[in-house]
Structure 1
């Protein structure tokens, strides 16, 4: 069965289609690695330019496909995942315009392009992605309208009129979309598995290796937001505890598998209690943090023997956790022999100078462990500096840091300090997490960024148990040189006013992002139930929610069908505008009678209300609709929409 050939694509319609493809591709490119985004974006521009007048040669298209696949493999490897699948979709869309010749090709490209903004939601659900996706959908509807006009051979409406038509279509769908968002039952996990990401987000891990923290500490995006209910801990207590690392192989620190599987023992809490809510950003793993120390694990999470908190599910989306913490008065005052041996363990053949110094200090201090800890902190304060410009450690990392460089950041300070303590016979371990946070002045909450990632130490002292020691904090302020703020341009080089304004702008943006997270991303089953409580409904089962949604959906679809049918009855925008004008006069008792012509009606109105201006407008309408006169549709439609009854003076 033969099909009719599709009409060729005009230049104006081609421009709309390519603009839609670009807007659809943009939100996806913003979520991909920079190299891939640059290659795909440049390829899309080149292909669109080369294919504007004639299709690209087959050999060139095959070469582009091969180049794209090689680039994806180079950046992401051969492991399938969410971001690699999205990268493949972006690559296909970038070269799709090479086949753009006819109206059928254009419709095919538009349908394919709309997959891109929705795929971007697999990687990010922020407001920027939504705005770009909405712009792509609006542009696609405008392009489809243009293609329909070209296919029918009719003159296209002005862009403003087309935009109004598209806006009405989207408003028609809004009630159904909102009822689906609010009423469709929220599931604990999706019905289908979502693949893991190939390019993982920077975040805390179960190990600490030399140089591995630079990428994490150079990222100023939020890791979590915390809202306190009651007192806020002072700066020296805002340590957000994450993985605790006890095993050391001479180069890397890792967690103890046995400690992760063991339940925590109770600690003696101090008098202060901190009650807070954490909004944890997606991290693609299960690791959580809490203020040092959490009193209990919140629902759907667990604490291990080191008081490190983890989620029972992978954190693929934003999550909210209500917790309480307290500084310990005594934390594991009785140390099990197995754990003592583990936190004294050092591999043979590493850091001989550090071990020799530790033995010397032990001889001089006797059994006074606290004196050795204090002596090391005084040494750091007196001679060491803080900087990110530190060469990668060699075999004897602690020796190089303590005796040669005497400069580094938290990774170096915590690791060398724990090695020194263990060499002196003091049980010690590395604790990783975040330190500090910045208060948002608009929302009265605290933002902890990924660049606030920190590593400190815990030493075990008789009678006190585990005690937090932060050797990095012991560095004298005058020897803090190369910081993260300096590298990110957050210092005062640009002037206090400019820096303050930029920080204020960033805080406003983060406050808006948090509002978005609260309203949409964290709308879970509990909040869905709370939404119905003002209506006297405490709880609905999933089947009841589905029935309620079905009722709203029927109403919404019925409204859509009625409005669309009404529009079909009056497809002429000029006639619709004329009928609206009639209804305005009808409210004053001056509506047009069924037997009256447009001009007769206008004359009657003019007699009773001189100066109304309706007579001139009705003559223009009559000439345009019935006499076939040439007229400016934009001007006449605008005048019909603008016209309002003016009573005037009665004769």
Structure 2
């Protein structure tokens, strides 16, 4: 038996559902692929509206999209490539749309797309778009069912009400699965934020290597302070320390990564805080300079850099304490001194000549040489991200030719200048600054806040932070976004456009943080303490499974009972009439088994005049028993809306 053909309105609705299903997935794919797939979807839908698309043309489109996937992603099977292939197949699926069977197939296939989007991103925006796609798909399936049996479509409100009830039926089972299904010691959603696409800080630095990182304004971490908050010029978030230099590339010392932290005399002021670290494919953590100890699950090396045992591919939280150092490794081991003075031969001769000249003029006063270098940078240099790629003598080119760059150039050149003068020095990478979110009272450090500064070793003081970038561009380090646009007030009209936009972005980040806390951070540890409020301290996996099984049986039983209740009366008109009867039963005016619809309505009208039930009963009788079906849609709506009139029973 052939499947009925689609009406024009239903075909349009199915195509819109396809677009809604594709949208959350396309937004997570590379921009070029997303545009290609979106254009293909539109062209295929327009072509197939009146004409069947020839098989050779469909095969050509498949080949083009496969070539685009290869161009953007290469031949590496995995999550991202699989999601791209799914989007490509769905883009041409509407070419087969002819009848009801094809429409159901397209909707079923399309629902894979929003679920695939969750493999790439688990943010609230993806959830909302996916939920909208699922609702639209259920509405489309309801429309197809109406067309198949030949009944008129219900009003939009009634259709939404039906779909809402179906989703409410599934909600208890979904929540019990989220809360009780045992999981690995990582968040349920796997790999948030496509961590592999956000590299973050690493254990090396070379010219031009930070451009992509410093152009990314997405959050790298969020910080909540418990008690005092450090001043803006003290918010240096310490990451990997780079000591070895080969003339172009700075790297970490392996001996320091696995060594014990040296002695530090900390200042009296302490900062207690929690870092919410966004996913990355690295193991390196950051902490406010300097951390007092490594938080649980991390390791503090001999350079006072933190790292995790595994890549931070999921959202993670770290409770820490830090304090400024009054003396940081006041006794420098000879081996480390040699490493902190090491310079490759045959590189940057002009810089080394200048270092020796300044050393002879400064005598035995390293602090004076540091100050002279900072004054030179402040006077003659500029801050810019637009720098040419350095040649062999990168430091010479920066200090004597370009005299403009960003933190990567300033810190590397300053350390080479100090080492040439016999002062131990090294590069420290991390982040600087942070913007307070006024809605959640926490600080957001973005990837573009990535920063590199220097540490020099001075007698009696040990390692001392020196930031040459701040000498030329203090606003890059010390100014916050609020200082520039966030609190602009235009008097009676409130904030200007920049301030309003800043507030909107901050509120969006506040909502995202709440989502992270409620959903993405619901990991195995939090699950174990789920029922602590009622005295159950911890649940092992077998107990969780048993608890979930119990909730699942209850939820499925409730769903079966409600569905069976609806199945007992398939006619929506009769179901609506019985529902109306139950409203009057609460007032003692329910229909008696022996009463006809007209007799019952007349009795109710005598008890509560003006109830309009007489007119409804006549329309119901005509539709139900006389076969007058032209008024069914409006009658159903009126039956659903009707409520008993207030009055006194007689």
Q: Same fold (TM over 0.5)?
A: yes
Question: How much has 1:413 moved relative to structure 2?
Answer: 0.7
In structure 2, the CA distance between the partners of 1:550 and 1:6, relative to structure 1 (3 Å rule), is: same
2:289 equivalent among 292, 297, 315? 292
In structure 2, the CA distance between the partners of 1:619 and 1:445, relative to structure 1 (3 Å rule), is: same
| Cα distance in 1 between the residues matched to 2:564 and 2:64 | 50
Q: Structure 1: which 5+ residue stretches go unaligned? A: none
1:36 partnered with 2:33: yes
Moved more, 422-431 or 138-147: 138-147
Question: How much has 1:476 moved relative to structure 2?
Answer: 5.9
1:556 partnered with 2:555: yes
Contact 2:207 / 2:389 at 8 angstroms: preserved in 1? yes
| Cα distance in 2 between the residues matched to 1:129 and 1:36 | 18
Question: How much has 1:127 moved relative to structure 2?
Answer: 0.3
1:183 partnered with 2:214: no
The 5 Å alignment of 1:554-633 reads 554-633=553-632
In structure 2, the CA distance between the partners of 1:229 and 1:150, relative to structure 1 (3 Å rule), is: same
| Cα distance in 2 between the residues matched to 1:283 and 1:370 | 38
1:442 partnered with 2:439: yes
1:87 partnered with 2:88: no
| Cα distance in 2 between the residues matched to 1:129 and 1:429 | 43
In structure 2, the CA distance between the partners of 1:650 and 1:22, relative to structure 1 (3 Å rule), is: closer
| Cα distance in 2 between the residues matched to 1:19 and 1:650 | 51
Query: Deviation string for 1:244-299 (max 9, x for gaps)?
Result: 11122222222223322333234222211111111111112222111111112222
Contact 2:529 / 2:539 at 8 angstroms: preserved in 1? no
Aligned to 1:319: 316
Find the residue that maps to 2:119 and give its secondary structure: coil
Question: How much has 1:26 moved relative to structure 2?
Answer: 0.9
Query: Deviation string for 1:410-467 (max 9, x for gaps)?
Result: 1111111111111111111111111010011111111111111111111111211111
| Cα distance in 2 between the residues matched to 1:58 and 1:605 | 65
Find the residue that maps to 1:283 and give its secondary structure: coil
1:11 equivalent among 5, 8, 11? 8
| Cα distance in 2 between the residues matched to 1:138 and 1:650 | 43
The 5 Å alignment of 1:497-516 reads 497-516=496-515
Question: How much has 1:230 moved relative to structure 2?
Answer: 0.9
Find the residue that maps to 2:383 and give its secondary structure: strand
| Cα distance in 2 between the residues matched to 1:200 and 1:178 | 30
In structure 2, the CA distance between the partners of 1:193 and 1:605, relative to structure 1 (3 Å rule), is: closer
Find the residue that maps to 2:543 and give its secondary structure: helix
CA RMSD of aligned residues (A): 2.8
Aligned to 1:528: 527
Find the residue that maps to 1:454 and give its secondary structure: strand
Contact 1:82 / 1:198 at 8 angstroms: preserved in 2? no
Find the residue that maps to 1:322 and give its secondary structure: strand
Question: How much has 1:5 moved relative to structure 2?
Answer: 4.3
Contact 2:330 / 2:462 at 8 angstroms: preserved in 1? yes
In structure 2, the CA distance between the partners of 1:75 and 1:617, relative to structure 1 (3 Å rule), is: same
| Cα distance in 1 between the residues matched to 2:126 and 2:648 | 56
Contact 2:120 / 2:192 at 8 angstroms: preserved in 1? no
1:425 partnered with 2:422: yes
Contact 1:86 / 1:119 at 8 angstroms: preserved in 2? yes
Find the residue that maps to 2:120 and give its secondary structure: coil
Question: How much has 1:235 moved relative to structure 2?
Answer: 0.9
| Cα distance in 1 between the residues matched to 2:546 and 2:65 | 47
Aligned to 1:214: 211
In structure 2, the CA distance between the partners of 1:496 and 1:605, relative to structure 1 (3 Å rule), is: closer
Aligned to 2:120: 123
Query: Deviation string for 1:120-139 (max 9, x for gaps)?
Result: 11111100000111111112
Question: How much has 1:50 moved relative to structure 2?
Answer: 1.7
The 5 Å alignment of 1:52-71 reads 52-71=49-68
In structure 2, the CA distance between the partners of 1:385 and 1:454, relative to structure 1 (3 Å rule), is: same
1:354 equivalent among 327, 351, 354? 351
1:162 partnered with 2:185: no
Question: How much has 1:489 moved relative to structure 2?
Answer: 10
1:249 partnered with 2:246: yes
| Cα distance in 2 between the residues matched to 1:266 and 1:212 | 33
TM-score (normalised: structure 1): 0.93
Question: How much has 1:193 moved relative to structure 2?
Answer: 9.5
Aligned to 1:340: 337
| Cα distance in 2 between the residues matched to 1:41 and 1:440 | 36
In structure 2, the CA distance between the partners of 1:210 and 1:490, relative to structure 1 (3 Å rule), is: farther
| Cα distance in 2 between the residues matched to 1:302 and 1:639 | 68
Question: How much has 1:224 moved relative to structure 2?
Answer: 0.7
Contact 2:286 / 2:306 at 8 angstroms: preserved in 1? yes
Q: Structure 2: which 5+ residue stretches go unaligned? A: none
Question: How much has 1:402 moved relative to structure 2?
Answer: 1.2
Aligned to 2:450: 453
| Cα distance in 2 between the residues matched to 1:44 and 1:433 | 43
| Cα distance in 1 between the residues matched to 2:64 and 2:36 | 10
Query: Deviation string for 1:527-552 (max 9, x for gaps)?
Result: 22443122221111111111111111
1:137 partnered with 2:137: no
In structure 2, the CA distance between the partners of 1:198 and 1:10, relative to structure 1 (3 Å rule), is: farther
1:401 partnered with 2:398: yes
Moved more, 138-147 or 444-453: 138-147
Query: Deviation string for 1:541-593 (max 9, x for gaps)?
Result: 11111111111111111100000001111222222222222122112211111
Question: How much has 1:356 moved relative to structure 2?
Answer: 0.6
Aligned to 2:268: 271
| Cα distance in 2 between the residues matched to 1:477 and 1:366 | 29
1:108 equivalent among 82, 87, 105? 105
Question: How much has 1:145 moved relative to structure 2?
Answer: 2.3
In structure 2, the CA distance between the partners of 1:391 and 1:192, relative to structure 1 (3 Å rule), is: closer
| Cα distance in 2 between the residues matched to 1:353 and 1:97 | 67
| Cα distance in 1 between the residues matched to 2:123 and 2:473 | 41
Aligned residue pairs, count:
645
Contact 2:195 / 2:280 at 8 angstroms: preserved in 1? no
1:261 equivalent among 250, 258, 261? 258
